Amino acid sequence: MNKSDFGEHFYWGVSTAAYQIEGAHNLDGKGPSIWDDFTHKKRKIRNNQHGDIACDYYHKFSSDIKLISDLNIKNYRFSIAWSRILPNGYGQVNQKGIDFYNRIIDACSEHNIIPWITLYHWDLPLALERKGGWTNRKIIHWFSEFAQVCVKQFSDRVSNWMVLNEPMVFTGAGYFLGIHAPGKRGINSFLQAVHHAALCQGIGFNILKSYNNKLNVGSTFSCSQIEANSLNLNDIKAAQRVDALLNRLFIEPSLGMGYPVQDLKWLKRIESCFGANDEKLMQADFDFIGIQNYTREVVKYSFFTPFMQAAIIPASKRNVPYTQMNWEVYPPSIYKILHQFKKYHKVKSIIVTENGAAFPDRMINKQIDDENRILYLKNYLHQVLKAKQEGVKVEGYFVWTLFDNFEWAEGYLPKFGLVHCNHQTQERIIKASGKWLRDFLNQNVLFMV
């Protein structure tokens, strides 16, 4: 396997998210986000950690973007912090926030790096959450204003856009399980958040394209390969329900197929959230779909699990290799997910907008020889290539992530980065995996898998 096997026009990139790296949580007019609030509440985050400073990217972005260039990475996906642009979520624009992202785009241009913007990567302005956040239908108008401001300010130099990052995760973890910001629980808040996010996904796409039809616009979806624990019919049906929830809930409404209520009977309740013309508003003729796959999940029937009657069997209990996130290392999962999404005939193109692994790295003499991460990347890339050679129109691969950053509820424990970041000194050290990727992208070197 070498770089040329993927084709001349394949997008090689790295992805980051604003709250996880920027820091500067209250500088230069930025308003608080739900994650600023959530992380300051005791016992919400591992070791009570937060992203107030994170990787201090707000002050170090220039040298960090040069570092991306040094790694021979030509595409950089980053998100816009909504409350840095609109501190109250709508209304007055913070010019210093606009200036910051313009400087990032300028730095990308200086180093011949193509910027890819994610509009929403989970950091809702706190002022909007106090009005109900994603459970309030007014978010359609708030998000529309945010999208309009961003496309007017940045689309003269940014052609590639993503509307939402993993809506299943921020609605499920934030509005049903309560383990992510804003910490809400319950089926009603979840269904409201899901429907409003699906509407914003479609509306956001149309705002971007109506401003400039030549923009390359997609959205990203968290996808796990789902397998039944056995050939027992109850396990098989349980796996179908989990697949409908985790992999189909947001892609199918955008394609005009509606919600997967046939496999999730309780999802019919979402119809109470509908307004006139909502089915059409959810639809989006995306230029590409962003797939974010890390693992597979094995599912068994569980009578006592509310709504789903299904339970995921943790990787740690299945005698399989797994990462710091307790996610199974299973490279064929990305191959199977790519083929699964290929079956949607309206999907024009697929880009792997996130893939990577967290392992407990060890530093010896300022060196981090993370061979397990290198092996992970090699094996997953091999499966991406296999799918591409079989006709899946996969056109890019972005590593998650550039730095060891703030990993949401898990704090700073999981290390996903190609680059180590010391969060006390802010020193950056390129890991062996970063050097491997640099060499892979620099020349057509053959890497055995």
pLDDT in tens, 74-123: 999 999 999 999 999 999 999 999 999 999 999 999 999 999 999 999 99
pLDDT in tens, 334-360: 999 999 999 999 999 999 999 999 999
Tell me what the mean pLDDT of segment 276-304 comes to. Answer: 98
The whole-number pLDDT of residue 144 equals 98
Which residue did the predictor score with more confidence, 443 or 115? 115
Catalytic positions? 166, 354
* pLDDT band, residue 306 (cuts 50/70/90): very high
pLDDT in tens, 365-398: 999 999 999 999 999 999 999 999 999 999 999 9
* pLDDT band, residue 445 (cuts 50/70/90): low
* pLDDT band, residue 447 (cuts 50/70/90): low
Distance CA 270, CA 247 (A): 17
Phi, psi at 392, each rounded to 5°: -75, 130
* pLDDT band, residue 298 (cuts 50/70/90): very high
Q: Which of 73, 29, 52 is nearest to 377 (CA)?
A: 73
Contact 299, 311 (CB under 8 A): yes
Whether the predicted pLDDT of 444 surpasses 90: no
* pLDDT band, residue 448 (cuts 50/70/90): low
Distance CA 400, CA 125 (A): 24
> What does R_g of the chain's alpha carbons equal in angstroms?
21
Give the CB-side neighbour count of residue 126, counting CA atoms within 13 A: 13
pLDDT in tens, 393-421: 999 999 999 999 999 999 999 999 999 99
The whole-number pLDDT of residue 449 equals 60
Q: Record the pTM.
A: 0.98
Average pLDDT, the chain: 97
pLDDT in tens, 225-268: 999 999 999 999 999 999 999 999 999 999 999 999 999 999 99
Contact 437, 73 (CB under 8 A): yes
Q: Which of 304, 300, 326 is nearest to 314 (CA)?
A: 326
Distance CA 133, CA 89 (A): 10
DSSP 347-400: ---EEEEE--------EETTEE--HHHHHHHHHHHHHHHHHHHTT--EEEEEEE
Tell me what the mean pLDDT of segment 149-168 comes to. Answer: 98
Distance CA 114, CA 111 (A): 9
Residues 6+ apart with CB under 8 A from 379: 331, 449
Tell me what the mean pLDDT of segment 154-158 comes to. Answer: 98
Q: Is 246 exposed, middle or buried (0-12, 13-18, 19+ CB in 10 A)?
A: buried
The secondary structure element, H or E, covering residue 222 is: strand 216-222
Q: Domains of the chain (ranges plus CATH)?
A: 3-442 (3.20.20.80)
